[in-house]
Amino acid sequence: MEVHIHKNPTDLSLALAGWITEYIESTLKDQERFTFTLTGGSSPKELYTLLASSPFRERIDWQRMHIFWGDERAVPFTDDRNNAKMTYATLIDKVPIPPEQVHRMRTELEPTQAAAEYEGLLHNYFDTEGPTFDLVLNGMGEDGHTLSLFPGQAVIHETQAWVKAYYLAAQEMYRITMTAPLVNRAGRVAFLTFGSAKAHALREVLKGPRNVDLYPSQIIQPASGALHWFVDEAAAAGL
């Protein structure tokens, strides 16, 4: 595991944009496509805006990119809470990526059906064993959750399914999420985390005793890939 600490969210997003771009460039020297799982929420908006702007936009071979989402709120694509909607607005609609290579979770379907469909799509890309995504970008909430793996939820311990849908009572909505076994087969996993409100959870996830039910981000540990945390000074204050 490697922790990258930067002064503020803007510096952090710029550094992560450069790191992602360099990784894409080097990976595409040896293979035909790059599989990239995105995260939602507000934290990556500045990062996505950077990736869609010069010089990163021109450096990335978008024709060879294949885009996925790690989790989604079961709300329509037109809903501002929809992770894919935000990403289209800040990134997807601004770069020349073939539409058929962008795979959002189809929240117009019933949640369990949407999860099953997404898992089926992923099986077209990846074998039941071996590596999955080239890069998974994750965020972390103030409660230590990542993806839609929230504290105390059974989905944290899922071992078979790649994608699960479940009702999150605290939010009064269904969530659809990739599971830890799938993400932990990625070549690289990068967390983007900033702000003083996340300092306690970050300290517990990285330095505290293992308790994945309380701090689900701890369960993301790539089996043979690399784990990177990109954080700002405020979030890293307790490290």
236's CB contacts (< 8 A; 6+ apart) are 3, 5, 199, 202
Closest CA to 139 of 55, 207, 46, 225: 46
In angstroms, the CA 49 to CA 209 distance is 36
- pLDDT tens for the chain, 239 residues long, are 999 999 999 999 999 999 999 999 999 999 999 999 999 988 999 999 999 999 999 999 999 999 999 999 999 999 999 999 999 999 999 999 999 999 999 999 999 999 999 999 999 999 999 999 999 999 999 999 999 999 999 999 999 999 999 999 999 999 999 999 999 999 999 999 999 999 999 999 999 999 999 999 999 999 999 999 999 999 999 99
127's CB contacts (< 8 A; 6+ apart) are none
Q: Where are the domains of the chain?
A: 2-222
Tell if the pTM clears 0.95, that is, is over it.
yes
- Quickly name the fold that domain 2-222 has: Rossmann fold (3.40.50)
